[in-house]
């Protein structure tokens, strides 16, 4: 059972962008599993990709094609996403198939082959069913649309073990003109991004220069998708794309950039948190706030050490106020010259740890009350400086094991 049901929001039209889906039967018949995103000429596109050394063939090709487009001063024209098969761990065959997919879609749409960027998600190590995939491209193009339903169907078309589509949208006012930012994401397991997350596609009608677009993507990804973890596994296929079609207001001045950045961060954070809320088998949504660190990286290291602890995660699932597991995880984080006397740990509104041990006023009843909640905040103050970081994670349940044990069946 997923935590904190979220509804797919209304998605305004983004001028200069259309989405289409098809049922190609890549893994299972009768479900949307192929998505095409059409981007108008003159748009700008930025990308963030997995750092996994075994990056999937579509990641390699997407990076190559994006670089080629940017070298020409252009943006990509089409994105193609399939679910059901990751096309990862497939060697030269995988690269051939990713390029063949781009070539066929380019032919159908009448655009250069290297203006098509491919994305895949699903089972690792199996070749793509190319006949079915290529057969779905024309129906996906025929289904292109710009409205709310097109966004919703695209959100459904990129899912794997997710239980629901994930979307976010904000509308901003810039110099008297309305700017829209829409986004969809997918991800439920194999979540510990090292750039973005499984897949995310965010678009705006704003006009933004390429250098600024790249910078905005890096900044907002770092404080959203790079702050979530379900199971500590970084995917081979992670990608987050940011598209600015240039059909709306220009984002250039410091004030405009600040307003736009805040709106983009909101979309990115909502999409990232939606992945955690839909984490495989998750029953708890957990916020880890680490404060008073010597650096932001130190704060992140402590937060992720606690978030990845199987003992902490299983205690959360059991609603067991075994606070010693949190203390132990904090203590083994890679922090130099740790003074445990300065550390405090709070579970919700309950102080667990201070002065090197259990807080004087703590009772098991207080801890158990907080642990029974579906949304839990753990605050850790290190007493070492003024930097902080926040990470979002889940518990670890029986269902997580079952989902992943049965994944390929």
Active site positions, annotated: 197
DSSP string, 76-99: --EEEEEEEE---S-HHHHHHHHH
Q: In terms of C-beta density within 10 A (0-12 exposed, 13-18 middle, 19 or more buried), how is residue 45 classed? A: buried
38 is in an annotated binding site: no
Q: In terms of C-beta density within 10 A (0-12 exposed, 13-18 middle, 19 or more buried), how is residue 143 classed? A: buried
Please report which helix (H) or strand (E) contains residue 133, including its range. helix 130-142
Question: What is the residue whose two structure tokens read 């902490």?
Answer: 312
Q: Are 238 and 194 in contact (CB under 8 A)?
A: yes
Strands (E), 86-134: 116-123
Copy the structure tokens of residue 265.
Answer: 């961060």
Q: Are 9 and 108 in contact (CB under 8 A)?
A: no
322 is in an annotated binding site: no
219 is in an annotated binding site: no
Handedness of CA 309, 6, 142, 147 (dihedral sign): negative
Measured distance between the N- and C-terminal CA atoms of the chain, rounded to whole angstroms: 20
404 is in an annotated binding site: yes
160 is in an annotated binding site: yes
Copy the structure tokens of residue 40.
Answer: 């108008």
List the one residue out of 380, 117, 404, 379 whose CA is nearest residue 233: 404
- Maximum Cα interatomic distance, the chain, rounded to a whole number of Å: 71
List the one residue out of 309, 295, 333, 283 whose CA is nearest residue 229: 309
409 is in an annotated binding site: yes
Question: Residues comprising the binding site for substrate?
Answer: 160, 186, 197, 280, 404, 409
Per the annotation, where are the binding residues?
160, 186, 197, 280, 404, 409
């Amino acid at each position: 059972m997923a935590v904190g049901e979220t509804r797919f929001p209304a998605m305004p039209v983004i001028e200069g962008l259309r989405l289409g889906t098809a049922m190609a039967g890549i893994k299972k018949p009768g479900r949307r599993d192929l998505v095409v995103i059409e981007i108008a000429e003159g748009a700008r596109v930025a990308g963030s990709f997995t750092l996994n050394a075994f990056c999937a063939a579509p990641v390699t090709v997407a990076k190559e094609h994006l670089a080629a487009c940017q070298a020409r001063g252009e943006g990509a024209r089409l994105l193609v996403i399939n679910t059901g098969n990751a096309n990862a761990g497939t060697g030269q065959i995988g690269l051939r198939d990713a390029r063949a997919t781009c070539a066929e879609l380019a032919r159908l749409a009448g655009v250069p082959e290297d203006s098509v960027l491919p994305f895949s998600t699903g089972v690792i190590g199996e070749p793509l069913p190319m006949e079915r995939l290529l057969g779905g491209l024309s129906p996906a193009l025929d289904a292109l649309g710009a409205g709310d339903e097109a966004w919703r169907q695209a959100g459904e078309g990129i899912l794997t073990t997710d239980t629901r589509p994930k979307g976010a949208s904000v509308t901003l006012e810039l110099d008297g003109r309305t700017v829209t930012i829409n986004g969809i994401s997918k991800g439920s397991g194999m979540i510990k991004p090292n750039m973005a997350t499984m897949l995310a596609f965010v678009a705006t009608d704003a006009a933004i220069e390429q250098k600024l677009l790249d910078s905005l993507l890096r900044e907002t990804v770092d404080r959203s998708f790079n702050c979530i973890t379900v199971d500590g596994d970084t995917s081979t296929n992670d990608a987050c794309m940011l598209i600015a079609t240039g059909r709306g207001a220009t984002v250039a001045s410091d004030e405009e950039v600040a307003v736009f950045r805040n709106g983009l961060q909101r979309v990115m954070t909502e999409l990232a948190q939606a992945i955690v809320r839909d984490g495989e088998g998750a029953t708890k949504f957990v916020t880890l706030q680490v404060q008073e660190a010597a650096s932001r990286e130190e704060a992140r290291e402590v937060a992720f050490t606690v978030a990845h602890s199987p003992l902490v995660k299983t205690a959360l699932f059991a609603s067991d106020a075994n606070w010693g597991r949190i203390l132990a995880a904090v203590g083994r984080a890679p922090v130099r010259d740790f003074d445990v006397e300065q550390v405090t740990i709070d579970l919700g509104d309950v102080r667990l740890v201070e002065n090197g041990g259990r807080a004087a006023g703590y009772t098991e009843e207080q801890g158990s009350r907080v642990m029974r909640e579906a949304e839990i905040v753990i605050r850790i103050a290190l007493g070492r400086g003024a930097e902080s970081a926040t990470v979002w994670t889940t518990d670890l349940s029986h269902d997580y094991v079952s989902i992943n044990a049965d994944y390929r069946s």
